Amino acid sequence: DIQLTQSPASLSASIGDRVTITCRASQTVTKYLNWFQQKPGKAPKLLIDGASDLQGGVTSRFSASGSGTHFTLTINTLQREDFATYYCQQSFTVPRTFGQGTKVELK
Amino acid sequence: EVQLMESGGGLVQPGRSLRLSCTASGFTFGDYAVSWVRQAPGKGLEWVGFIRSKAFGGTTDYAASVAGRFMISRDDSKSVAYLQMNGLKIDDTAVYYCTRDIGNYGGKRGGTADYWGQGTLVTVSS
């Protein structure tokens, strides 16, 4: 199975900060990498697929890049509604796997 | 509006069975793959498995942790997908989400969960 390792596991940030989350795959997933946001008690929400394609309706504060085994999700000008847990997921092959999550908390 | 709604969760004893349903609306259900994803209390997301659309054979794939115990099926005439869970273990305790998948064309590659249900809690305990 392809392992996805996110870093950091958690981070504290302030409103207006720029934060970057990294996702590393144990083997190449080319560009089959998705990012999800999950708030407490809610279902995850798809933010980005294809490593860098922002979903319709998702704010452009979110951006992502990468290919192969190294990917990043960047949140510019952090807003209160962005405090959540973020997961990467590969859809290169089955079983699809998720990273362990990165919790973004208010400093 | 695309909607997915899971049902059938509850408390079940180890070794018993449970069937979850995922009822869809707002789109042509038969055109899409459906995945199940679970989340144990306080833990991260775990992909359970998915079923492709009939156009791509309606075939299934599963995580190793559930293969041979869980089975996904679909009834496109009712816009419903099912997750049959047999031989339940305490470690299967989780919120179970169904998702609509886009971008899978029959192989093992591609596919993204663009819509999620609200989840249903399954508790396995004696």
Name which of B78, B71, B28 is nearest B53 in CA terms: B28
**Which amino acid would we find at residue A58?**
V
Partners of A46 on chain B (C-beta within 8 Å) are: 112-114
User: What is the rounded CA–CA span in Å between residue B13 and residue B9?
Assistant: 13
Partners of B112 on chain A (C-beta within 8 Å) are: 34, 46, 49-50, 91
Cβ <8 Å between B44 and A99:
yes
B46 touches chain A (CB under 8 A): yes
Mean pLDDT of chain B: 96
Q: What is the pLDDT of residue A20?
A: 98
- According to DSSP, residue B67 is labeled B
pLDDT(B107) > 90: no
B54 to chain A nearest CA, in Å?
A: 19
**Helix, strand, or coil (residue B66):** coil
User: What is the rounded CA–CA span in Å between residue B95 and residue B45?
Assistant: 10
Q: What is the pLDDT of residue B103?
A: 85
For the segment A44-56, what is each residue's pLDDT rounded down to a tens digit?
999 999 999 999 9
Q: What is the pLDDT of residue B66?
A: 98
**Which amino acid would we find at residue B6?**
E
pLDDT(B108) > 90: no
For the segment B10-40, what is each residue's pLDDT rounded down to a tens digit?
999 999 999 999 999 999 999 999 999 999 9
Name which of A65, A62, A67 is nearest A92 in CA terms: A67
- According to DSSP, residue A55 is labeled P
For the segment B33-65, what is each residue's pLDDT rounded down to a tens digit?
999 999 999 999 999 999 999 999 999 999 999
Q: What is the pLDDT of residue B106?
A: 80
